Structure 1
Amino acid sequence: MVDILNHNKTISDIIFQLRKEKNLTYAELEELTGVGKPVLQKLEKGSTKRPEFKTVKAITSAFPEAYQELIECYITIENRTEVLYEVLQDVLSSEKKPALASKVALRLLENPSNETEDSLQRLYYFTQEVSDSSLRLELYNVIVKYSRKHGVMNYIAKGLLQKYLIERADFKRIDQSFQQGLEIVHYTDFLTNDENVIYHYRMALHAYATKNYRECIEFAENGLVLERMQSELKARVHLSMINSHLVLKNYNKVEELLDVFEKYEYDFVYEAAKITRGITKARKGEYDTAIPQLENLLEKCSQQYRLHIVDELLEIYLKMDNLDACSKLLEKENEIMSTCPDSPNACRAKGKYHRHKGHYQLTIGVIDEGVKSFASSLQYLNKINAFEEKDACMREFFYCLTKNSIILNKEFMDIIYIMAYNVNE
């Protein structure tokens, strides 16, 4: 294989190497690439100092294995902003190589013909139009790193916000992305009011999903102050704040906030408020009021709320040792689970459901099914790395074994071990 040693490759080096490796004449190379023989000869001899991108692109089309090398060489000699954006668009649409896209983006930012902030602004708005989230994330990383190096605070802030909005969608990294989102707190002065609203709202919902309830309340309160207009997202953030107070057992605050929440004019509000009031009664131990209220809501509520109501009722029934009521509720499983998507909150709710189901099954002596239900609970919790809930699931599992004098064989214990510690079989 021909190789070029002891110096950085140029486009002429690469063309020479390709032609020699494949034993091509200039006429054959012209036929493969569609580039005229005289142009190819000048390129190989190095007499063309800055070829047109369409020429380089034609060569990469014929020799895709040389794409990255040719592009990396080309951007070192090209200074025209419009052409560099053409190169970046080609990399994104044709090859989708994040590392190469980063190099082209950095070349755009380092171009001495443009002011730093103007270059950042154009690349930022260009990046917003990129459809592939992984490539978009790569470009925002370039923007943030370059902005840090040059002290451009507003694009550090904007880049970090956009990175966070992409990364928060990865449920397996939900805790890590929340921690990354917290960094933006230090840059909120450099965001617009609308960006600040989005940041605080998304962090409030994220905090609730990761069980950071006090942070949820703080982010929600700050966001609600910033937005004067009504929106469905605002109402949902308000509800997450209410639910956080509910978990923290601030029942008076829950009822106070529900009075405000009920004024939002969105379809889900009436139903969510009724359900939250019922759950609040249950958490306060007012079962005589809570049970009929929740049972009535279960028959009438939308599909999205049914699982949460079932979880609450199962918990009450198990505390009251009402196994008949548990049995009747579990008969509705297919109906309840059929349209429940695997969002973080839904995974947590499904994990809770199967934990309750397993508790019931072990209590009535259906050992095989009970173990499988606890394993299913752990499986859903693994999807969102819900370690605290997994610990609670394991504690309840062993409590049920002890209470019901159940001794499991190795096969069943292995099933639980595999799911609890998320190991391969």
Structure 2
Amino acid sequence: MLSSVTSLSLGDLIHQYRTKSNVTLSELARITEVSKGTLSKLENGEVQKPEYYKLQAVTEALGIPFEEYIELYIKVEKSPSSVLRIFSEAIARNCPTKTVVRIAERYLTIAKGESYDVIAKFFDIAIQKSETELKLELLQMLIDYSRSHGIMPYIAKGLFQKYLIDRNDFTKLSETYQSGRYLLNYAGFLNERERLLLYYCLAVHAFSLQNHKESIELSEYVIENDLTDSEFRANAIFNACNSYFYLNDMDKGIYYFQEYKKFSFPFVQDNIRYMNGRISARYGDVNLGIAQLEEYLRGASEYNLVYTIVLLMELYLDKGKLDEVKKLFIYENMMIKSLSDAQTTPEKRGKLACFYKLKGDWLREKDEISEAFEYYRKSALEYAQISYYEEAFNSLSLITNSTLISFNGLNRKAIEELNLVFNTLSS
């Protein structure tokens, strides 16, 4: 790549590369089928903006990288539609963020006519980009432009797409939830499907933060407004069902569970089998619940595996069945693998953290102190990664420094590591 100067023109760039390659104007004209006269005028600055297909032929022949010549080209391109096509091409080429952003800025600067139409075209191209950093930057540009031009629907759409990305950062659950709640002020500018998705995502988000009342409120909006028998509505009903159970409102929980049973999707049938055991164990016959969960575990889905294991561990520990708890440890790697699923929520990751804590309890009961410390540490860090800071501190506080001193086998290094984890969580 040749070095460039800020004042470098497109003609200067082509001349540099042609000279370095020892290619004459005549040879370049023959290779590209662009006339020698046109090439000469381009290099001399008499033609500042060649036809785009001719420019590509020349740059391809000379091996000039797209990001080197395109920023020079768009400086003199005055057609919004042409710059928009180049914007789309830059995204398709996976160009550096800096290049794509400069093209986007140029488009928004020179675009004329109806502002709504300008931003609508920009939005359609911008959301196709899968790389998170670039998409977030483009969405912020869209939001800023929409605000300055009073285009309410695209303020809403931009904020919504940004929320869908930001909510995947489990270390900022509370912060991103509040930004999602703020977005409800713009919900009326979203289309019906987007609005339902926003409420559902917030319902799941609230559930992960253990804000079960808000989760119910948001879930019930979806239930009341999505009148289809879709998977979407089924999931909202299941979310409401679980939230009511966590609030110990059995009547409402059972009501929504019965509504959920009306759906015939395979994942619904799987969830029902798990929930039958959970309901029996928590609200009825514990021994029946254990039997149902053990039966379900033999063919448990990857999605419900971690829930089933943790619930069984809790039930076994309550009954002092330590040998039965040990049998569940073989599922540890399978549970970790199940969390790579795209549907994994922070709440589900919290169940893995709970598994680590329960295994630590079992190990401590067996006087295997060093191993217990390791699992309490893993539990704390897993909780911290999903913003469950109270649970993280609880896992660590199970072994305080004063208590550790009385445990054989735990060395000073382990105590120092424990203090380091405390300090990390405190910061």
Superposition TM-score tier, normalisation by shorter sequence: 0.7 to 0.9
Task: Tell me by how many angstroms 1:399 deviates.
Answer: 10
Say yes or no: does 1:30 pair with 2:28: yes
Give secondary structure in 2 for the equivalent of 1:304.
coil
Q: How far apart, CA to CA, are the structure 2 residues paired with 1:371 and 1:28?
A: 76
Amino acid at match of 2:309: V
> Deviation string for 1:244-274 (max 9, x for gaps)?
2222333332122212222222223244234
Say yes or no: does 1:348 pair with 2:350: yes
> Deviation string for 1:50-69 (max 9, x for gaps)?
2222344455544646x545
Instruction: Return the match for 1:372 from 374, 383, 387.
Output: 374
Q: How far apart, CA to CA, are the structure 2 residues paired with 1:220 and 1:243?
A: 11
Give secondary structure in 2 for the equivalent of 1:114.
coil
Amino acid at match of 2:206: A
Give secondary structure in 2 for the equivalent of 1:408.
coil
Q: How far apart, CA to CA, are the structure 2 residues paired with 1:244 and 1:421?
A: 33
- What residue number does 2:398 align with? 396
Would the aligned equivalents of 1:26 and 1:37 in 2 still touch at CA under 8 Å? no
Amino acid at match of 1:240: N
How many residue pairs end up in the alignment?
Answer: 419
Would the aligned equivalents of 2:25 and 2:39 in 1 still touch at CA under 8 Å? no
Q: 1:174 to 1:2 in 2, by over 3 A?
A: closer
Would the aligned equivalents of 1:96 and 1:135 in 2 still touch at CA under 8 Å? no
- What residue number does 1:191 align with? 190
Q: TM-score, normalised by structure 1?
A: 0.83
- Equivalences for residues 67-146 of structure 1 within 5 A: 67-68=66-67, 70-146=69-145
- What residue number does 1:236 align with? 235
Q: 1:107 to 1:322 in 2, by over 3 A?
A: same
Q: 1:392 to 1:123 in 2, by over 3 A?
A: same
Larger deviation: 343-352 or 164-173? 164-173
- What residue number does 2:154 align with? 155
Task: Tell me by how many angstroms 1:287 deviates.
Answer: 3.5
Task: Tell me by how many angstroms 1:238 deviates.
Answer: 1.7
% identical equivalent positions: 26
Q: TM-score, normalised by structure 2?
A: 0.83
Task: Tell me by how many angstroms 1:201 deviates.
Answer: 1.4
Q: 1:356 to 1:138 in 2, by over 3 A?
A: same
Would the aligned equivalents of 2:126 and 2:135 in 1 still touch at CA under 8 Å? yes
> Deviation string for 1:198-243 (max 9, x for gaps)?
1111222222233333332222111222211011122122212222
> Deviation string for 1:331-369 (max 9, x for gaps)?
554566564536234422211111101110111112232
- What residue number does 2:258 align with? 259
Q: 1:72 to 1:328 in 2, by over 3 A?
A: closer
Would the aligned equivalents of 1:172 and 1:385 in 2 still touch at CA under 8 Å? yes
Q: How far apart, CA to CA, are the structure 2 residues paired with 1:312 and 1:3?
A: 63
- What residue number does 2:410 align with? 408
Q: How far apart, CA to CA, are the structure 2 residues paired with 1:419 and 1:282?
A: 35
- What residue number does 2:362 align with? 360
> Deviation string for 1:151-203 (max 9, x for gaps)?
10011111222222233334455444333322321111111111111111122
Amino acid at match of 2:220: E
Would the aligned equivalents of 1:201 and 1:237 in 2 still touch at CA under 8 Å? yes
Would the aligned equivalents of 2:381 and 2:392 in 1 still touch at CA under 8 Å? no
Larger deviation: 294-303 or 332-341? 332-341
- Mind listing any 5+ residue stretches in structure 1 that lack a counterpart? none
Larger deviation: 269-278 or 281-290? 281-290
Would the aligned equivalents of 2:359 and 2:375 in 1 still touch at CA under 8 Å? yes
Q: 1:47 to 1:263 in 2, by over 3 A?
A: same
Task: Tell me by how many angstroms 1:285 deviates.
Answer: 8.3
Give secondary structure in 2 for the equivalent of 1:103.
helix
Amino acid at match of 1:30: L
Amino acid at match of 1:247: Y
Give secondary structure in 2 for the equivalent of 1:249.
coil
Larger deviation: 376-385 or 304-313? 376-385
Would the aligned equivalents of 2:67 and 2:95 in 1 still touch at CA under 8 Å? no
Larger deviation: 278-287 or 316-325? 278-287
